[in-house]
Amino acid sequence: MALLALGMLSAFGPLSLDLYLPSLPRIATDLAASDASVQLTLSGSLAGLALGQLLVGPLSDRVGRRRPLLAGLAGFALLSIGCALAPTIGMLIAARIVQGLCGAAGLVIARAVVRDAFPDSRIAHVFSLLMLINGLAPVLAPLVGGGLLHLMPWRGLFWVLAAVGAAILALTAIALPETLPPERRHGGGLRATIAAGREVASDRLFLTATAILALTSAALFTYISLSSFILQSGFGLSPSLFSAVFAANSVGIMLGGRGSALALRRLGSATILGTALAVMTTAGIVLLIAAAGGMGLPVLLPPLFVTIAMVGLVMPNATALALSRHGRSAGTASALLGTVQYLAGAVAGPLASSRGASATAMGTSMAAAVGAALLVWLFLLPRRRTSA
């Protein structure tokens, strides 16, 4: 039950984003908004998820994990109702930002709980298992969202999100105990928090692993932000077919997570990370060539699938490396990691679509981001003590 609760908590990002992806064109029509404005509901949620982690992570190091987690989950459910009732695109964007701030508690504290509760040798394995559990969210969410759009308007999807948030709140309250006892908590207020942040940020392994996570997230969220418009408006897929394609790619992430768990029996995290980035970069280049050449979906979708699937290997291993030296400040380290990761995602989508949401723009941004992540692994990642 505890692992299930952790998996659901770490799935707050996909849950917040993927359920309503099939409805983006309808939101634009209903609220008389441009495609770029509607994409800001995604970027706003990502920005909230990023900044919320920066607030909640250090707080959880001081007061424990459970109280800020339950408060954040309750706020997420309430703000989902606010999104459902938003009368304008501006108010929807604002509600999505605050909803993300609340949902960030699930993301940052889930990682910190893993660091609290498991030894160094098990962290990467547990994150790989969580990737399998929370991988169900991007598989099911767009399929459920596409199906629900046949039964309700887009606002109904946010009522569904409110119900999901309440259910996760109940599960967490029952299944997840406090993992940071009072004697391990930080005192000293803001000064101690800043000192802990400086200590984490001075660790080269943390910085390089976080950079790899940020660049991978930029590629992933470029795909999330643009795929609905490209596949539906550009290639003419229905919401249901788009949801099926999106779900298939999300299954790839789950398969990647399972592959990571198996590979960790023989290989270290750094080795798995480099191999996955090499495959991801190759697939990203093929994707760019297919997009720039105006090739059809049968040529475009296979390299897109491989690129997204490698996320399931990159993220758990990069996360384990980033947190491996920071057991005492797990909340702060998790917050800094998550903030950079989600801010990269928040910026990537609007930048990629600044000249229009096209397959070429998506392929260019994704290939550049994963290629840069591979270069960081090759030239900057410390080679000592990175096999945990």
Most confident of 12-26, 77-91, 218-232, 236-250: 77-91
pLDDT for res 188: 58
> Is pLDDT of 97 > 80?
yes
Q: What angle do CA 174, 180, 186 make, to 5 degrees?
A: 140
- For residue 75, being part of any structural domain is answered with yes
Long-range contacts of 381-386 (CB under 8 A, 24+ apart): 381/205, 381/208, 381/209, 381/212, 381/270, 381/273, 381/321, 382/204, 382/205, 382/208, 383/270, 385/205, 385/324, 386/205, 386/268, 386/269, 386/270, 386/321
Q: What mean pLDDT comes out for the span 63-76?
A: 93
pLDDT for res 373: 97
- For residue 388, being part of any structural domain is answered with no
Most confident of 102-106, 145-149, 344-348, 353-357: 102-106
Convert the pLDDT of each residue in 31-45 to its tens digit: 988 877 888 898 888
Q: Where in the sequence is the domain holding 107, given as residue range(s)? A: 2-379
- For residue 384, being part of any structural domain is answered with no
Convert the pLDDT of each residue in 283-341 to its tens digit: 999 999 999 999 989 999 999 999 999 999 999 999 999 988 877 777 888 888 888 98
pTM given for the model: 0.78
- For residue 385, being part of any structural domain is answered with no
Convert the pLDDT of each residue in 111-124 to its tens digit: 889 888 888 778 88
- For residue 162, being part of any structural domain is answered with yes
CATH for 69? 1.20.1250.20
pLDDT for res 329: 78
- For residue 367, being part of any structural domain is answered with yes
- For residue 387, being part of any structural domain is answered with no
